[in-house]
Amino acid sequence: MRPLTFILIAISFSSFSGAQQGDFYEITRLPFTTDEFDEFAPAYYGEGIVFTTNKRMNFIISRTTDEGENLFNIYYTSKRESGRWQNPVILDRNLRSNWHDGPVSFSQDGSRIYFTRNIPGTGSQPSRLGIFIADYSGGSWTNIRPFPYNSNNYNVAHPSISSDGATLYFTSDMPGGYGGMDLYSSRLQAQSWSPPENMGSGINTEHDEVFPWIHQGGRIYFSSNRTPGGTLDLYYALMRDNEWQSPVRMPEPFNSEYDDFAFIADRELSEGYFSSNREGTDNIYSFISTFPLFTGCETMREEQLCFVFYEQRAERIDTTTLYLEWDMGDGTRIRGLEAEHCFEELGTYTVRLDVIDMITGEMQANVAYYNFTTPRVEQPVINAPDTVYAGRQFSLDATDTYLRNFDIEDFYWDLGDGTKVSGEVINHTYRFSGTYEIILGVTSDPDSPYGYRRLCVYKEIEVLEPIQGDVVEEGQNRHGF
């Protein structure tokens, strides 16, 4: 039922594009990375990050493999109060071996570490990668033990533990996969790890899938060399109905023509780190979203279109042989001293109240005549359907946004599936069915005399399963992640 607004006429009478995709991420190479050594695979730990590097431990000691390669070790660094990064240091000498160590993953409370380490081969057998686990106790990492599914016959590496500590994700070339390195998971059940489960053909290919990282929101990020060119690209995938959906390739600047891998991010996916050899050696890059942050968004308020009109001056009219008739300006006529009416849309209407002769039907006098403009709700406005189909493009626009004393700088859309774009009019296609929350944010010109402001609203949209015969393209998410 539409709400009504009462209009007292005696009082009110006298007072009466195409979307532009934005690059919403800035990346910066971390200052402690080098052109001589490799630094890669960051992991959040404490107030900083832990990463893997083959840099020399000091100018005197250089630990190498039998082939003369520098050993990879696990290092830690954090920022000073000034914001500058401190010089990296070995995380713990107990985690240093005579073999390659790293990358790593930590439990949510930081009390347990999962890390990759070389398992030396015997005889003519080559060395393999295995996962090891250690606990933090008494100021150091102790109780180092192997993951039970390590093997001398294949590799198990790149651990990532879920935030609840119950599922370990990793990569392996164990028999039974789809080819190359595949992603697997193992669950902790009654203090024992379940047999590894391949994450399926939706994730894995005949190529290599490596460096998994599970986000606390449920997405899994990883790298794969499945695209032409053979370099590693970053992907992410969502789980729906207990099945991993087809991965989405991340956009630039995360991916390049070189190897891009080992992605991590904060809860909001607004900042984080990844690794790349786009400048020669493996280096760690930070990223931060430049997409404006909108908080406290409200649902759109319904525009007021229903009103009650009343004219006090018409109360003294003798209605024995006469009657009052309202002409609402939209083709509607209503008899009586009071008129309750709902307009179909916003606009300005010529509203009049006439005195009509009952016998002849002719107008005898006009009591009121004026242009009535339906009042606007001051808010950003999302024009979009309530229901769409997955795999089908549709349009959204903010052209009906109404904000007084607000010099609009730009419109920002968060479409609830990781896509973030700017523009007054945009097009979008959802890949999966479900209910999505669309946020429209509006920023004002910083140089406006009214000052800088941010306002936002949200709207839910229901995405239905694709119509039979429609093809939902995998493609690349060109806007965000």
For 209, the domain range is: 25-289
For the domain that residue 169 is a member of, what is the CATH number?
Answer: 2.120.10.30
Based on the fold, state whether residues 10 and 106 are members of the same structural domain. no
Based on the fold, state whether residues 199 and 149 are members of the same structural domain. yes
Evaluate whether residue 95 is within a structural domain. yes
Per-residue pLDDT at 241: 80
Evaluate whether residue 153 is within a structural domain. yes
For the domain that residue 318 is a member of, what is the CATH number?
Answer: 2.60.40
Based on the fold, state whether residues 11 and 44 are members of the same structural domain. no
Per-residue pLDDT at 436: 92
Based on the fold, state whether residues 54 and 175 are members of the same structural domain. yes
> For residues 159 and 156, what is the distance between their CA atoms, to the nearest angstrom?
8
Looking at 254, 289, 324, the residue that finishes a domain is 289
Query: Which CA distances in Å does 386 have to 102, 426, 428?
Result: 48, 16, 14
How does DSSP assign 51-76, residue by residue? Answer: EEE---SSSS---B-TTSPBPPEEEE
pLDDT tens digits for 385-399? 999 999 999 999 999
Query: Which CA distances in Å does 97 have to 72, 73, 141, 167, 305?
Result: 10, 8, 13, 26, 74
Evaluate whether residue 380 is within a structural domain. no
Domain count, the chain: 3
Per-residue pLDDT at 59: 47
Evaluate whether residue 471 is within a structural domain. no
Q: Cα dihedral angle (291, 296, 302, 304), rounded to 10 degrees?
A: -110
How does DSSP assign 391-422, residue by residue? Answer: T--EEEE-TT-B-TT--EEEEEEE-SSS-EEE
Within 10 A of 245 (CB to CB), how many other CB atoms are there? Answer: 15
Evaluate whether residue 103 is within a structural domain. yes
Based on the fold, state whether residues 265 and 305 are members of the same structural domain. no
Based on the fold, state whether residues 284 and 317 are members of the same structural domain. no
Evaluate whether residue 125 is within a structural domain. yes
Based on the fold, state whether residues 202 and 344 are members of the same structural domain. no
Per-residue pLDDT at 473: 54
Based on the fold, state whether residues 215 and 271 are members of the same structural domain. yes
Evaluate whether residue 478 is within a structural domain. no
Based on the fold, state whether residues 403 and 343 are members of the same structural domain. no
The alpha carbon of 464 is separated from its chain's Cα centroid by a whole number of angstroms, namely: 20
Evaluate whether residue 470 is within a structural domain. no
Q: If you search the block for the tokens 């102790």, which residue do you land on?
A: 142
pTM: 0.78
Per-residue pLDDT at 11: 28
Based on the fold, state whether residues 309 and 440 are members of the same structural domain. no
pLDDT digit string (tens) for the chain, length 481 residues: 444 444 443 323 322 243 333 378 999 999 999 999 999 999 999 999 999 999 975 544 445 555 557 899 999 999 999 999 999 999 999 999 989 999 999 999 999 999 999 999 887 889 999 999 999 999 999 999 999 999 999 999 999 999 999 999 999 999 999 999 999 999 999 889 999 999 999 899 999 999 999 999 899 999 999 988 889 999 999 888 888 888 989 988 999 999 999 999 999 888 999 999 999 999 999 999 999 989 899 998 988 899 999 988 777 777 788 999 999 999 999 998 899 999 999 999 999 999 999 889 899 899 999 899 999 999 999 999 999 999 999 999 999 999 999 999 999 999 988 889 999 999 999 988 889 999 999 999 999 898 899 999 999 999 999 987 665 555 444 445 5
Residue 292 in tokens: 């404006």
Based on the fold, state whether residues 122 and 152 are members of the same structural domain. yes
Per-residue pLDDT at 68: 58
Based on the fold, state whether residues 10 and 153 are members of the same structural domain. no
SS3 assignment, position 145 = strand
